[in-house]
Amino acid sequence: MDDGSPAPDSPPVVESETKRESGHPFYALSPDDPSYQTFIASLDYLGGEDIARIRDAISYADQAHANQVRFSGEPYVTHPLAVASVVAAWRMDADAVCAALLHDVLEDTGAAKADLAERFNPAIAELVDGLSKLDKIEFSSYREAQAENFRKMLLAMARDLRVVLIKLADRYHNLSTMSAIRPDKRRRIARETLEIYAPIANRLGLNKMFRDLQDTSFCLIHPMRARVLARAVAAYQGNNKELITRIQDNILHKMQEVGVTAQVFGREKSLYSIYIKMVEKHRAFAQIQDIYGFRVILADIPGCYLALGALHALYKPVPGKFKDYIAIPKANGYQSLHTTLIGPTGMPLEVQLRTEEMHHVAQEGVAAHWLYKDAVHSGADLQIRTHKWLHSLLEMQSGDSSEFFENVKIDLFPDDVYVFTPKGLIISLPQGATPVDMAYAIHTDIGNRCLAVRINHELAPLRSELQNGDLVEIITAAHANPNPAWLSYVKTGRARSRIRHFLRTVHNEESAALGEQLLNQELISLGVDPASVPATAWEHLIKASGNHSIKDVFTDIGLGKRLAPVAARRLLADDTVTVPTRSGTLVIRGAEGMAIQLANCCQPIPGDPIIGSIKKGQGLVVHTHDCPVIRKSRKHEPHKWIDVEWEPAPGHLFDVRIAIEVKSARGILGQVASAISNSGSNIENVTMEGDTEKQFNHLHFVIQVSSRSHLAQVMHNLRRIHNVIRINRIHHPEHKA
């Protein structure tokens, strides 16, 4: 589809073509057109019946776009013909070629999907529909429309991989014909390509297209920088031409010495990769040494390893710069041996060794399955892995398109690490991934029940970054649940999506239970037994609130989106009922979960007099009666506060802060810690401050206790230590002893 999208933060409109002034259709293509003839000649891999269908698709597209021209003034049909030419170069099937020719007719010409299905076939109609943008005026911004369009494209990809290949061919041609589009739009489309489409091409193993998309986008975003850098690369190549030729000849001669048949090619880094390296490493062009590399193509896998040994004998290898992607392929199917050598002048040389088949897959990725008959097995294996990734996208769906968009973008990072399970299974994860990412990569239930991890047989924090070759054992427990803090360090979109889904579900369940409790308490305070309320009254309340069920009403009350007194009045359909400003006391255990939160400022524990307030989106927040943070609110807004009391619930522990002043003495910290532990309390955190004369120390602990009486027992045991001078409970961090 032609990229004539609107500027950011404005509703999407179609402005990718202009209408001819003549009121009648015209035909832009003829059988004598050179581009038409070249395209038909490229279809020699297809049968006569398929070519006839493709000719029909060209005719249909020509008529559908008859009154349209591109911004450059060319007939619009030249664009779908160019896209189809890229698809045909991949030797894809006739349906894919037809869909490429017709990819804009639904969006731009008013043609119906049913018409395409009837004239061609339903498969082609589905492909074209998957490629069509959404045109919904209710989108509030371009960003929102982009996210929803992206979601639709990826879900279509999950059903049929050909969708993304045609889409990439579409974007590839659009980028190469941007000269007639205004600069700000060129830059926006190029940035979108760098952010989304180039990483997708890389994820699918389309290396050549990946590099082309990056370099073209770079030239559109920074034209001056690209021109200067291109001149510098050309000058470097000219100045080192003799050296490069000598190295290439040396490698080829060495291959002949060891009896290996090989082809040796020089290869220069892409402009964009050189630019990114200069930016990230803060280096000038003259300081970038690995601008030029070499690729050695061999007959078979044993030849690759034999050639590697020969190269290491020819030039010294750089330690730690060898990667074996043949034994452990990248997630996108890429296979090669990579090594870095010290060349004749001391400059590093990057060398890639691969077979012919690996080279085809490296250049064309999933398209190699269609393009090369001898790559069927590799292509099929790659397609299986690609489909597995695409179907994993379906699991990331949520109601928010932007969230889905961000989750998928996270998964498009190109660098991978490879880790092992205790059974020897290899798991591929993005760089910086943690054990939590690995747990969710294995199975959602493993992630949700993840409790701890052993990395290389040693216990490690769940936030540890995994390294290549790590042996990772995930430890699970039936009672374990995802921690919201995981969202701050997980790297994969799958893990982030699954954690958010769990937290949303659990939060809503707990909020519904709290809301039901609050509403029942309100009804009882009005002298009404909740069980006696007729079903019709509940139905009226659901209808009046705009919810779908009574559980949704409870959830809104628990989240603070709806007030229990108002809901009770509507339920009784009697606005004259006087609702007391204070309802009965709400009983809590303090361990209900996210719907009831114990305020961090005062850290209430069982036995403390407590009071609560419903906060929108947070549920019930519980404070101690004397918490200094809430004094002003309790005085000026007493109606917002609910009396709360503790229900005995043995087995639960609560955080509490204590401050201890001690005389400086050898081993005093150990004595204090031992007394706390012997009192049945856990130490969560400890800090220590000394005075300038080093006579006293101030210890600040966060410990876990089951109740106020348990805390009293802990403090009693601490006072028995000879060097302890004073102990205080800290109700607020700013009010220390």
* For range 141-156, the mean pLDDT: 62
* For range 263-289, the mean pLDDT: 82
Where does the pLDDT of residue 83 fall: very low under 50, low under 70, confident under 90, or very high at 90 and above?
very high
Which tens digit of pLDDT belongs to each residue from 595-623? 567 887 888 888 888 888 766 555 678 88
Please give the pLDDT value at position 578: 40
Tell me the CA end-to-end span of the chain in Å, nearest whole number.
69
| pLDDT of 509 strictly over 60 | yes
The amino acid at 545: S
Candidates 285, 188, 195, 280; CA nearest to 235 is 285
| pLDDT of 566 strictly over 90 | no
Please give the pLDDT value at position 16: 39
Please give the pLDDT value at position 361: 76
Q: Which of 68-72, 442-446, 492-496, 569-573 has the highest mean pLDDT?
A: 442-446
Greater pLDDT, 523 or 304 = 304
| pLDDT of 366 strictly over 70 | no
Cα-based distances in Å from 482 to 30, 436, 448, 451, 461: 63, 9, 5, 9, 15
Angstrom distance (rounded) from CA 678 to CA 710: 12
Where does the pLDDT of residue 394 fall: very low under 50, low under 70, confident under 90, or very high at 90 and above?
low
Please give the pLDDT value at position 576: 37
Instruction: Give the full edge-to-edge strand order of the sheet including 458-460.
Output: 458-460, 450-455, 472-476
Angstrom distance (rounded) from CA 173 to CA 156: 21
Average pLDDT, the chain: 77
* For range 572-593, the mean pLDDT: 50
> Per the structure block, which two tokens stand in for 456?
């290389």
| pLDDT of 294 strictly over 60 | yes
Please give the pLDDT value at position 533: 78
Q: Which residues are catalytic?
A: 107-108
Please give the pLDDT value at position 488: 80
Residue with tokens 């007939």: 75
The amino acid at 374: D
The amino acid at 260: V
Where does the pLDDT of residue 583 fall: very low under 50, low under 70, confident under 90, or very high at 90 and above?
very low
Is residue 313 helix, strand or coil?
A: helix
**CATH class (in words) of the domain with range 654-730:** alpha beta
Which tens digit of pLDDT belongs to each residue from 18-48? 333 333 333 666 667 788 888 888 888 888 8
pLDDT exceeding 90 applies to what percent of the chain?
9
Please give the pLDDT value at position 548: 76
The amino acid at 89: A
Where are the domains positioned within the chain? Answer: 18-181, 500-646, 654-730
CA angle 427, 433, 435 (to 5 degrees): 70
Angstrom distance (rounded) from CA 241 to CA 534: 90
Pick the CATH number of 18-181 from 1.20.120.530, 1.10.3210.10, 3.40.50.880, 2.30.130.10: 1.10.3210.10
Candidates 619, 613, 618, 617; CA nearest to 644 is 613
